[in-house]
Amino acid sequence: MCSMPKPPTRTKPSGKAGATPTLSARKKALFIAVCLVFPLVLVVLVEAGLRLAGFGGRPPTLRVLGAVDPDRPELGRVVTTSTEGPGSFFYMNRDRPGTIELFSFVTPKPERTFRVMLFGESAIKGFPQPPAFSAGAFLREMLADAMPERDVEVLNFGTTAIASYPVLEILREAVAFEPDVVIVYCGNNEFYGAFGVASLNRGARSPGAMRAQRWFQTRGIGQAIGDWRGRVVRARQDAEADGARTLMETMVGQSFIGVDSPLREAAVRNLSHNLREMAAACDAIGVPMLLCTLASNERDMAPLGEPDWGDADQAVRAKGEAALVRVRSGELSPREAVDLLTEAHLAAIDHSLLSFFLGRASLALLEAEGSANLDQEVLYSRYFEDATRDDTMPWRPNWHTDQAIREVAEKTSAMLVDVLAAFREASPGKAVGWELMDDHVHFSLEGQQLLARTLAGAVLEREGLSERASRMASDEDYRARLGDNPFDRYGVAHQMRVLLSVPFMRETNPGAAPRFDARARALRNAMPSGMDEVLQRWQRAETHTGGVRRPLSGMAARELLRRGDTGAARGLLKPAIASVPAYSSLHLEYVYLDLALRAAASGGEALTGEDAERARAAIGRGRFLILQVGARTGMTERNIGRLHQLLGEWEAALPMLLEAQRRLGGTDRVAVDQALVLSYVRLGRRGEALAVIEHGVQASGDFGPMYERMRGMLGE
C-alpha cells in the first residue's frame, strides 16, 4: 500500500532576515489617528477659509457704537440696531431677509427714561405703515401724555417674516438694556417665516432641533450650504413665477397644510415653548412682560389656502362648490345663504371656505333681523374661528394659537393683554375686518391706534396708574400730532395693492388688491399736480439703500420745497424725521430743512431756544456718525455745515462744507458750494467766495448758470 506524501507545513515568519515584514502596532495606531483626524482638520480648514470669505458667525441685533459725547462720558454710549442680526436667521434667504427698523438709544438708561420694548413680527413692527405711524409711535405719545414726569421711550424690535424662536433670541439680547416693560405680540409666523415649521426641513421642527439648526447656520459651512441651496431654490421659484417672488411667497415651504397635519401641533408647541422662555428671560432680570393675544382680519378676508375636503366624495364636493358659487353671486338672501351653506358645511365640516362664507351669511342674517340674536352671534363667531383654524395656508393666527397664548399667560408671570377682544369689541358685528386691518394680520392706521391704546392701558395698569388713561388725547389729535398726510397714506395703499396681488392672495381674495388700488388712485388725485415722478421714484427699490426706506413724505417735502410751497413741505417733514434713524445723514437733512423753514418764518435770524438745542443735538449726532461710524459720504458733512450756519456759526461750518465739497458732485456739489459762498460772504472773505464761483462757472458744465446766479450773493 502506497502512502501519499504529506503537504508541506506553513510556518509563521520568524522575523529573521528574509521574513516578510508587517506594520508595527505603533504605525497602525498612527495610521488610524491620521484617518480620524484628517477629516476634522479638513473641516477646520474649510471653516476657517469660509470665515475669511465672510461666512459664519452670529451677528448681534444690537451694537454698542461709542460714547454719545467723548468729552462727557456720563451721557452714556449709543446702542443701535443692526439688520445683520435678524438677517442671520434667514438660512437660505440671507439676501432677502426680514427687516428690523434701524433706531438707537443710550446705555446706561438715563434716569428719567421709561423704556418700553416691543417684540414680535411685522404686525407689531407697524407694517405697512411707516415708522411715524406704527403702534409704537402712537404708544409713545399716549404714554407721554399719561406720564409727563418720565421721558417715555418705545423701542420696537418687531421684525418681518420671523417665527417665535428668532423673536426669543432677539428678546434675550435686548432685555440686557434695562427695559421697564416688555411687550410681546407674537405668533403670526409659526408656519411661514424664519424658523416657521412649514419653512423648515422635517428634522428641525422641535425647540431642540431649532437650536441645533441655529448652531449649524452660524457656522461658515452651514451658511455657505444655505446660500447655495437658497440660490438654487429661489432660481427655480422665480422661474416658475416668471420673475422675482416676494418674501411672503419665498417663505411658503408648503402651500397646503391639512387640518390633521402634525405641523399644526408642532407650531403650537413651539410657540408655547418660546413664549415661556421669553417670560423666563424677563423674570430673570425682574422686568414685567405683557403678552398679547392676536387679532386678524376674520370677517373680510377669505382663507388663503385650498380648502380641505377631508373624506367628502365627489357628489358632496360638487354640491359644496355649487353652493359657494351661488352665495358669491349675491343672488341669495341672508336666510337662503345660511340654509344652503349649512347643509353643505355639515357634509364637509373642515372646509375653511364654507365656514368663512357661512360666518358672513350668519352675520348678514343677524344684521337683517335688526335685533341682537345671541345664538346667531355665537354661530358666526364660531364659523369665523373655524375658517381661520382650518385654513390650509395658515398665515393668520387661529383658535389654537389664541389658547396657547392664554395658557402661557396663565402659567407664567406674564400679564395677558387681550388685543383680540379689544379689536372685536371695536368692530361691526364684533368680527374684525377692513376697518382695523389692511390685510390678513397687519393693522390699518386706525388699527395701529387701537393697538397702541390697548397696550397703553395695560402698561398703565401694570404700573398702578390706570386712572391716568383719561389723560390720553383723541385718535384724531394723535394723527394730527404725528403728521398724518396723504403721501404716506398713498405709500401704504401702494404696498398693499402689491402684496395683495401675490397669486394666492389674488386668487382667494380677488377684491382685496382693487380695494387698495382705488384708494391709491384717490389719494393720488388729491395731491398737487406733477407728483407722479416722485411717486414712481419712491416705488423703485434702488431709491431705498442702506437698510433705510425713504419716507414718501420726505421725498414729497423736498419736491414741494423746490416748487416754493414751504407751508405744505413743512407739514411733511415731521413724519419724515420720525421715519428715519436719528443717526443717519437723511435724518440730519430733514432736521436741517425743518429748522431752515422755521428760521425763515422768523425772519432769517439765527436759531435760538429749543430750535438751537435741536440743531446742536443734530450736529452732535452727525459728528458721532463721522467719528464712530465712519459715515464720510459728504452728505453728513454737508448737513452739519448747514446746521452750523443756521446757528450763525459761519466759521465752524467751513471745515465740514469743504469736506463735503471734496466728496459730492452734481446738484449736491452745487448746493455745497452755495453754502460755502454764503459762509465766506458772512465772514468778509469775498475773494474765497469769488474763487468758488469762478471754479464752478468754468468746471461744472451744465451747472454753470447756477454759479453765475451766485454772484448775486456778492452784490454783483
Mean pLDDT of the chain: 89
Q: Would you give the distance in Å from CA 700 to the centre of its chain?
A: 42
Instruction: Tell me phi and psi for residue 123, to 5 degrees.
Output: -65, -45
Element (H, E) at 25: helix 25-52
Lowest mean pLDDT among 212-216, 268-272, 412-416: 212-216
Pairing of strands 77-81, 289-292: unpaired
**Which of the pair, 716 or 364, is modelled with greater confidence?**
364
Question: What is the C-alpha separation between 62 and 214, in angstroms, rounded?
Answer: 18
Nearest by Cα to 323 from 374, 278, 358: 358
Question: What is the C-alpha separation between 407 and 420, in angstroms, rounded?
Answer: 15
For residue 582, the model assigns a pLDDT of 95
Phi-psi region of 6 (alpha: psi -120 to 50; beta: other; left: phi over 0): beta
- 3-state SS assignment for residue 106: strand
Tell me the per-residue pLDDT of 189-210, one tens digit each, with 9 for 90 and over.
999 989 999 877 666 778 888 8
Burial class (CB in 10 A: 0-12, 13-18, 19+), 116: buried
- 3-state SS assignment for residue 320: helix
Q: Please calculate the CA angle 77-143-276 and round it to the nearest 5 degrees.
A: 75
Nearest by Cα to 624 from 20, 40, 76: 76
Q: Which residue has the cell 427687516?
A: 99
Lowest mean pLDDT among 361-365, 542-546, 549-553: 542-546
Element (H, E) at 156: strand 151-156
For residue 248, the model assigns a pLDDT of 54
Write the CB contacts of 712 (distance below 8 Å, at least 6 apart in sequence).
Answer: none
Q: How confident is the model at residue 15 (pLDDT cuts 50, 70, 90)?
A: very low
Lowest mean pLDDT among 377-381, 408-412, 707-711: 377-381
Q: Which three cell numbers stand for residue 67?
A: 460714547
Tell me the per-residue pLDDT of 90-144, one tens digit each, with 9 for 90 and over.
876 655 677 899 999 999 999 999 999 999 999 999 999 999 999 999 999 999 9
How many Cβ atoms are within 10 Å of 108's Cβ, its own excluded? Answer: 12
Tell me the per-residue pLDDT of 394-405, one tens digit each, with 9 for 90 and over.
999 999 999 999
For residue 570, the model assigns a pLDDT of 93
Q: Which three cell numbers stand for residue 632?
A: 464720510
Question: What is the C-alpha separation between 563 and 61, in angstroms, rounded?
Answer: 41
> What global pTM score does this model have?
0.90
Judge whether residue 174 has pLDDT over 60: yes
State the sign of the Cα–Cα–Cα–Cα dihedral 383, 386, 391, 396. positive
CATH 3.40.50 is held by the domain 62-196+262-272+399-416: yes
Question: What is the C-alpha separation between 466 and 460, in angstroms, rounded?
Answer: 5
Question: What is the C-alpha separation between 560 and 569, in angstroms, rounded?
Answer: 6
Lowest mean pLDDT among 5-19, 65-79, 602-616: 5-19
Whole-number Cα distances in Å, 125 to 1, 158, 547, 587:
107, 4, 15, 20
Lowest mean pLDDT among 249-253, 454-458, 476-480, 565-569: 249-253
Nearest by Cα to 279 from 374, 102, 407, 413: 413
Q: Which three cell numbers stand for residue 349?
A: 365640516
DSSP state at residue 259: T
Judge whether residue 437 has pLDDT over 90: yes
Q: What is the dihedral of CA 473, 475, 480, 481, to 10 degrees?
A: 40
Asked if residue 120 lies in contact with residue 100, where contact means CB atoms within 8 angstroms, the answer is: no
Q: Which three cell numbers stand for residue 697?
A: 462757472
The CATH superfamily label for domain 546-714 reads: Tetratricopeptide repeat domain (1.25.40.10)
Element (H, E) at 594: helix 585-601
Domain ranges of the chain: 62-196+262-272+399-416, 314-389, 546-714
Burial class (CB in 10 A: 0-12, 13-18, 19+), 207: middle
Asked if residue 119 lies in contact with residue 157, where contact means CB atoms within 8 angstroms, the answer is: yes
Phi-psi region of 219 (alpha: psi -120 to 50; beta: other; left: phi over 0): beta
Q: Which three cell numbers stand for residue 555?
A: 421725498
Whole-number Cα distances in Å, 264 to 162, 267, 655:
17, 5, 62
For residue 2, the model assigns a pLDDT of 45
For residue 383, the model assigns a pLDDT of 93
- 3-state SS assignment for residue 107: strand
